[in-house]
Amino acid sequence: MSARVAVAVGAPHDGVLAEALHRAGLEAVAMLDPLALSAGAVVGPGDPRGAAAPALLQGADTVIVWAHRSVLTRELVTLCDRGGARIVAVGSGADADRLAAAFGLDEPVDPGDADAVVQAVRRFAPDPLFAPVTALGRDVSDPRGSVIVVWGPEGAPGRSTLAAALSFELARGAGVTALVDADTRAPSQALALGLPDEGPGFAAACRHAEAGDLDAGELLRISIPVQHRDAQVDVLCGINRPARWPELSASRVAAALEECRRWARFTVVDVAPSLEEDDEITSDLEGPRRNAATLAALRAADVVVAVCAAEPVGVARFLRAHADLRQVVGPVPVLIAVNRLRPGGLGFDGRGQVRRALARFAGVDRVWFLPEDPRATDAAVLQARPLAEVAPRSPLVTGVRRLVGEGVMAEIGGEPAAGVRDEHASGRGPRRVRRRTA
């Protein structure tokens, strides 16, 4: 079955595009007036015409629309998301580019270049005759994906920074790697990586998963790729307002992450800190749960990376929340990363103090220490780029690499990274490097 395409660009381009689609074996199922399509998209759910609004798409797999503010609107994007239709934007100029980027779409195609528009449509075609979608040489149909959830207690111990750093480290030669922002309280991955947060993102993935039409092609469409040297991470941005938390229900999140397993070799999930079960404090047993996204992600995890801030208050908060975490995840491996370790933060023998506290009060005997590097992290935030790209020689990057090699890969059955030394087995920290002075 060939792809079904709705063309909403108007004269004189619509006829030329319809002919080009026909030559390419793609079916133009509808020729729509762009303004009429936009008007149909804004029909509210309470309006009797609302049921007819999706019919404008005629069951299309892909919709070609003008990248203009009067046509490409939030309501239209929502309508296409609900109908499972991909959007190919056409247009030219800086305004068209900015509008498409705001909704997480590819760069608009010149409507006068019919062949380029056809190629853009073909990238979304469901026809099995087309080549399977791949990324960095790996078929995304590989079902052996793993979910790694990064959690930490209240107090901003560095969950989001570590989640992004882990995803780029895992992506080195591993094929498709996804970074999911499932934090319903303070999502930040889009801002930290310089990505638009008005696009569909993880909330759209959850909606499609509930409808049963989420697949690798759809995940590829709604994610935003971030390239760093030989590594690419596909980012599913979080909700842009905390008030949208009901969109990330437990069943939706679980179904979306299950589909991510089939799509990506590794899926790194950044979650909110609260683990409170609110079933007993509400009379609406069928209503949404404020912390459902965090709890569902943790229960779906293959490995949990728990982040502890290397200062007295941070350690105390972590110890109080650790028992709740273990109750939620059960037998799932939990790797503890003590973040922002710095001289003077814990007095004499800071590492030893943290080790002894975690061993005594949490029964933890293996810990990964991540040194604080404010210069590198500040530069990464200012440039909105991955930490490993901005400061590849940062000791924090080295610490994350050790955590991946010794911890994450070991737990999911992979081999430790070459050249990584097990500081925990040897009882010593990383080798000190003497700096030359001018």
CATH architecture for residues 4-130: 3-Layer(aba) Sandwich (3.40)
pLDDT band for 287, please (50, 70, 90 cuts): low
Say which range, 119-133, 221-235, 305-319, 327-341, has the weakest mean pLDDT: 119-133
Burial group, residue 358, by CB count within 10 angstroms (0-12, 13-18, 19+) = buried
User: What would the pLDDT profile of 224-277 be if each residue is shown by its tens digit?
Assistant: 999 887 678 999 999 988 889 999 999 999 999 999 999 999 999 999 999 987
pLDDT of residue 428: 38
Indicate if 138-426 has the same CATH topology as 4-130.
yes
| DSSP state, residue 27 | E
Q: If you average pLDDT over every residue of the chain, what do you get?
A: 79
pLDDT band for 25, please (50, 70, 90 cuts): confident
**What is the Cα gyration radius of the chain?**
24
Average pLDDT over residues 124-130: 42
| DSSP state, residue 281 | G
Average pLDDT over residues 406-410: 90
Residue environment code for 392-419, b if the CB has 16+ CB neighbours within 10 A, otherwise e? eebbbbbbbbbbbbbbbbbbbeeebeee
**What is the distance in angstroms between the CA of the first residue and the CA of the last residue of the chain?**
69
Backbone angles phi, psi at 159, to 5 degrees: -60, -50
CATH fold for the domain made of 138-426: Rossmann fold (3.40.50)
CA distance 275 to 321: 8
Say which range, 23-37, 373-387, 392-406, 409-423, has the weakest mean pLDDT: 409-423
Domain range summary for the chain, segments of one domain joined by +: 4-130, 138-426
pLDDT band for 101, please (50, 70, 90 cuts): confident
